[in-house]
């Protein structure tokens, strides 16, 4: 049976529309449906000199595989014309409308997954809309109390205990309750979505040298170590906390399925150094599958045809594999 994948191209002035239009120049074994403004797709295709046949999406019709050069679309109107490279706060609400529509249609089963292009958080907030990221937005839309942000590339998965919060708030956010919830979600989805029977998880310490027995911080002794012990007593396989400055080496990574970092810039710089442009962002804990690119809007490349499709293509392929429970295409050793 053919499945449907929703795609939100993201910031209309960025490279998201460009990447999608490049990627639909070959056949796909699923029905790809852009949640976007038809005029945006037409104008950008013309600018990039790419052939495009737009087909209005009708969920009452049987799903069909996407053929080269054609793209199904579900219309969401822009508030203002989108000019490549030029942010316009008038379109902040448009971006959220695409995400809201994708969330609703994934929740009701119309789509098997959603793949999101890069958005510009600053311009959305400038439009007067509080927005900290896709992960948090989809959690709110689905009334999901806890979700986990994970990025993956060949040979490495990194999940986060905290996401888009100031560094000054991280210590207070790393609680026993939060650690347990995040680890349980990570463990569950590694089993259910990735087919790993007994997931092995490496947990980073919060402080330099994982606190060095309390001399460089007490969070490890007071919170993280007792929580790891408690989790392992339930049958999980958690190692840590380990110092983040030495954890990311083969002797550890070859024996793990995922690394759990305490905060955004603890784990993601390593992953992006290893696989930037060839990694994918996956939200765990949602009632549907959501993958995304590992990069931003790259406004300077929008409309030039020079943007690389690697991460967007991986995000689509990973969504397909997760939705069909087929072999996961990244992190295979």
- How far is Cα 101 from Cα 175, in angstroms, rounded to an integer? 34
φ, ψ dihedrals at 111, nearest 5°: -115, 155
In a domain, 33, yes or no: yes
Same domain, yes or no: 135 and 253: no
pLDDT exceeds cutoff 90 at 323 = yes
233 and 167 in one domain? Answer: yes
* Cβ count within 10 A of residue 15: 33
State which H helix or E strand residue 4 sits in: strand 4-8
Do 185 and 268 fall within a single domain?
yes
121 and 13 in a single domain? The answer is yes
The token duo for 40 is 């945006």
| Residue 329 resides in a domain | no
What CATH number is attached to the domain comprising 315? 3.40.718.10
Can you state the angle between helices 225-233 and 176-192, rounded to 10 degrees?
Answer: 40
Q: Within this chain, do residues 36 and 127 fall inside the same structural domain, yes or no?
A: yes
pLDDT at 326: 58
153 in the same domain as 121: no
Which residue range forms the structural domain that includes residue 138?
Answer: 4-144+286-324
pLDDT, mean of residues 5-28: 98
Residues 163 and 213 in one domain: yes
Tens digit of pLDDT for each residue in 79-117?
Answer: 999 999 999 999 999 999 999 999 999 999 999 999 999
What pLDDT score does 1 carry? 84
**Is residue 39 within 8 Å of 83, Cβ to Cβ?**
no
Q: What is the mean pLDDT of residues 113-126?
A: 94
- Does residue 332 sit within a domain? no
Q: Establish if 103 belongs to a structural domain.
A: yes
Question: Which residues make Cβ contacts (< 8 Å) with residue 237, sequence separation at least 6?
Answer: 198, 199, 200, 201
Q: Is 157 exposed, middle or buried (0-12, 13-18, 19+ CB in 10 A)?
A: buried
Give the distance, in angstroms, between the CA of residue 4 and the centroid of all CA atoms in the same chain: 18
Question: In the structure, what pLDDT confidence band is assigned to residue 164 with cuts at 50, 70 and 90?
Answer: confident
Task: Give the span between the Cα atoms of 205 and 201, in whole angstroms.
Answer: 13
Same domain, yes or no, for 268 and 292?
A: no
The pLDDT value recorded for residue 330 is 44
Confidence at residue 198, expressed as pLDDT on a 0 to 100 scale: 96
Same domain, 292 and 222: no
pLDDT surpasses 80 at 327? no
Positive or negative: CA dihedral 87, 91, 97, 102: negative
Tell me what pLDDT residue 331 has.
42
Strands 70-75 and 200-204, how do they pair?
unpaired
Q: Quick one: average pLDDT of 238-263?
A: 96
Residues making up the binding site for a divalent metal cation: 164, 209, 264
Say if 333 falls within a structural domain: no
Which pLDDT value is given to residue 305? 95
Same domain, 63 and 112: yes
- Whether residue 180 is found in the same domain as residue 99: no
- Residue ranges for the binding site for substrate? 134-135, 272, 281, 290
Among 57-71, 141-155, 256-270, 316-330, the minimum mean pLDDT is found in 316-330
The domain total for the chain is 2
Are 214 and 307 in a shared domain? no
For 170-189, what is each residue's pLDDT tens digit? 999 999 999 999 999 999 99
pLDDT of amino acid 332: 39
Residues making up the annotated binding site are 134-135, 164, 209, 264, 272, 281, 290
Residue 311: inside a domain = yes
Distance CA 311, CA 323 (A): 18
Asked whether residue 281 is domain-assigned, the answer is: no
Beta-bridge partners for 55: 72
Check residue 133 and give its pLDDT. 83
The chain-wide mean pLDDT, for the chain, equals: 94
User: Does residue 124 fall inside a structural domain?
Assistant: yes
């Amino acid at each position: 049976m053919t499945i449907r994948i929703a795609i939100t191209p993201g910031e209309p002035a960025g490279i998201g529309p460009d990447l999608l239009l490049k990627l639909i120049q070959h056949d796909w074994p699923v029905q790809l449906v852009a949640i976007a403004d038809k005029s945006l797709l037409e104008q950008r295709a013309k600018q990039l000199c790419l052939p495009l046949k737009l087909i209005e999406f009708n969920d009452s019709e049987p799903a069909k595989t996407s053929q080269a050069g054609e793209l199904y679309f579900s219309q969401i109107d822009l508030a203002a014309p989108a000019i490549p490279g030029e942010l316009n706060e008038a379109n902040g609400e448009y971006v959220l409308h695409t995400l809201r529509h994708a969330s609703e249609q994934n929740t009701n089963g119309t789509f098997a997954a959603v793949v999101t292009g890069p958005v510009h958080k600053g311009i959305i907030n400038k439009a007067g809309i509080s927005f900290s990221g896709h992960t948090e937005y989809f959690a709110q839309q689905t009334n999901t109390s806890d979700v986990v942000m994970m990025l993956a590339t060949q040979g490495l998965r990194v999940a986060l205990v905290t996401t888009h919060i100031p560094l000054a708030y991280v210590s207070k956010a790393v609680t026993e309750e939060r650690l347990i919830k995040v680890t349980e979600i990570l463990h569950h989805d590694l089993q259910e979505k990735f087919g790993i029977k007994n997931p092995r998880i490496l947990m980073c310490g919060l402080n330099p040298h994982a606190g060095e027995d309390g001399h460089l911080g007490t969070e490890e002794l007071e919170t993280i170590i007792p929580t790891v012990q408690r989790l392992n007593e339930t049958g999980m396989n958690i190692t840590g906390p380990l110092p983040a400055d030495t954890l990311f080496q083969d002797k550890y990574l070859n024996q793990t399925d995922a690394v759990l970092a305490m905060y955004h810039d603890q784990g993601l710089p390593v992953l992006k150094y290893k696989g930037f442009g060839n990694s994918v962002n996956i939200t765990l804990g949602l009632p549907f599958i959501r993958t995304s690119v590992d990069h931003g809007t790259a406004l300077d490349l929008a409309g030039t045809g020079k943007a690389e499709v690697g991460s967007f293509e991986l995000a689509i392929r990973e969504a397909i594999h997760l939705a069909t429970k087929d072999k996961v295409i990244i992190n295979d050793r």
